[in-house]
Amino acid sequence: MDYLLALLQGLGIAAAIGIRPFLPVLLTGALAAADLGIDFEDTAFSFLEQTGFLLAIVALVAIFGFVDRRRTGAETSDRDPVVIVLLVLALGLGALEAAGSIDDLSADWWPGIPVGLAAAALGFAAARSLFGRVRARLDKDAQGALPIYAEGAALATAGLSILFPPLALLIVVGLAWLLFGSRRRQGEKYAGLRILR
């Protein structure tokens, strides 16, 4: 049972990292350092709660925060280098955090890698889809607030997953619903346009 809870916890943390990669990592590291709901000490992933790693994440927050402010309102494609870098970071960090969550309880931490990769990919795709649709409906000033909402959603997802691991299932189901629901609506819209021809 404890293994399943650790797996769910890692799933939720990785999904949060997919939404926005850096603040969930900082929150997880801070909670792990205080032994609140998660602990990486004496595991192969103990670096995830160490000061040097967390300072590197803070530096990434500053760098990507600056990039976000410069690009506010700009349309970004899936081939945009910044988007690709964020995806790679989210996948890597999600896999590490999920595996670390399991390693706290069991030496069989390797399932955390595919679980973390899948959850981070889902979180990333769902967040891009949702915030892309919302951005298209807002004026330029309102678009600037979207990263704040994304960070808040990511932090809440990570915190809830750490403190109440079973909630991670609901979070992942919600992200999947957001992603596949938006794709279905897009397909219906294009089907309607084809009918109008």
**pLDDT tens digits for 95-149?**
999 999 999 888 899 999 999 999 999 999 999 999 888 877 877 777 777 888 9
Return the pLDDT at 196.
Answer: 47
Please say if the pLDDT value at position 15 is more than 70: yes
Please say if the pLDDT value at position 87 is more than 70: yes
Return the pLDDT at 184.
Answer: 66
Q: Over pLDDT 90: what percentage of the chain?
A: 67
What are the CA-CA distances from residue 194 to residues 51, 106, 116, 189, 191 (Å)? 56, 54, 39, 9, 5
What predicted TM-score, i.e. pTM, was given to this entire model? 0.89
